[in-house]
């Protein structure tokens, strides 16, 4: 008998807030906080609407990734940014314990609790990407990142992509683009903690070119993403 599904929504790069205690570290980096390096525009709005639509638990952070990147593993060279990596070991550890460890521990504890109840967690991590990076134009409206070695993640992304292609044929939906889903990240780390039968982690990446405050097209895109995910989940349930 197939396990019931429990949906979880997270957003690791939801804002560019710097707690007052650490603002002196960012003197000279104020402009950087407003760029894609500081946060993922649109990702928090998308995460909140997904959680509301599916009545799913939501874990978000509005602290800038330039303080500490919640989507990087401890030891990764980009865990801390150029503004924080030169801080003392004590300050970096303080940041880790105040912001990084609580966020990741709470999400992991939630997943563990759902697994204990006999449920399979589908985790959608909401992100967005800059349309041009290092002179390269990213040719996609949406990316769905997953580990191709996990059949459940592959199936969900195929279904989600197919549904989005029907609803928005001109959008341009690609799988494992502009990054590989198996690269270092929160979902990749959680895969090491939970078996495939218990956990599936998908990173939703939206091109920031499509994100515009109060834009009708941006609202419609969010509706399409939600509707396509609903179709994908129904299709997967019918296959089991």
Range scoring the smallest mean pLDDT among 155-164, 176-185, 206-215: 206-215
Q: What is the mean pLDDT of residues 223-237?
A: 95
Facing residues of 215 across strands?
A: none
Task: Note the pLDDT of residue 236.
Answer: 83
Facing residues of 144 across strands?
A: 175, 204
Task: Note the pLDDT of residue 1.
Answer: 60
Query: What CATH number is given to the structural domain containing 177?
Result: 3.40.630.40
pLDDT digit string (tens) for 132-152? 999 999 999 999 999 999 999
Task: Note the pLDDT of residue 237.
Answer: 82
Question: How far apart (Å, rounded) are the C-alpha atoms in residues 221 and 211?
Answer: 9
Number of domains the chain contains: 1
Is it the case that residue 91 has pLDDT exceeding 80?
yes
pLDDT digit string (tens) for 181-222? 999 999 999 999 999 999 999 999 999 999 987 899 999 999
Residue 204's contacts (CB-CB under 8 Å, 6 or more residues apart) are 46, 124, 125, 126, 127, 142, 143, 144, 145, 225
Q: What is the mean pLDDT of residues 78-82?
A: 97
Q: What is the mean pLDDT of residues 62-87?
A: 97
CB of 66 closer than 8 Å to CB of 32: yes
Question: How far apart (Å, rounded) are the C-alpha atoms in residues 228 and 99?
Answer: 33
Q: What is the mean pLDDT of residues 93-121?
A: 98
Is it the case that residue 240 has pLDDT exceeding 80?
no
Is it the case that residue 153 has pLDDT exceeding 80?
yes
Residue 147's contacts (CB-CB under 8 Å, 6 or more residues apart) are 153, 181, 182, 187, 188, 191, 201
Q: Which percentage of the chain shows pLDDT scores above 70?
A: 99
Q: Which percentage of the chain shows pLDDT scores above 90?
A: 95
| Mean pLDDT for all residues in the chain | 96
pLDDT digit string (tens) for 52-64? 999 999 999 999 9
194 is in which domain, residue-wise?
5-239
């Amino acid at each position: 008998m197939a396990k019931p599904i429990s949906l979880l929504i997270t957003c690791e790069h939801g804002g560019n807030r710097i707690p007052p205690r650490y603002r002196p570290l960012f003197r000279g980096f104020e402009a950087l906080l407003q760029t894609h390096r500081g946060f993922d525009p649109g990702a928090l709005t998308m995460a909140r609407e997904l959680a509301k639509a599916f009545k799913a638990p939501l874990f978000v952070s509005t602290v800038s990734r330039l303080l500490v990147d919640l989507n990087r593993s401890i030891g990764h060279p980009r865990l801390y940014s150029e503004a924080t990596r030169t801080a003392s070991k004590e300050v970096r550890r303080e940041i880790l314990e105040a912001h990084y460890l609580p966020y990741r521990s709470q999400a992991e504890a939630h997943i563990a609790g759902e697994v204990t109840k006999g449920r399979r967690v589908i985790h959608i991590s909401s992100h967005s990407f800059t349309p041009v990076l290092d002179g390269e134009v990213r040719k996609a409206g949406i990316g769905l990142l997953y580990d191709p070695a996990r059949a459940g993640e592959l199936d969900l992304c195929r279904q989600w992509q197919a549904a989005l292609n029907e609803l928005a044929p001109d959008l341009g939906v690609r799988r494992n683009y502009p990054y590989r889903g198996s690269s270092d990240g929160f979902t990749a780390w959680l895969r090491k903690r939970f078996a495939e039968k218990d956990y599936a982690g998908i990173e939703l990446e939206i091109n920031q070119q499509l994100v515009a405050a109060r834009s009708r097209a941006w609202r419609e895109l969010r509706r399409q993403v939600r509707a396509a995910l609903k179709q994908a989940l129904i299709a997967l349930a019918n296959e089991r």
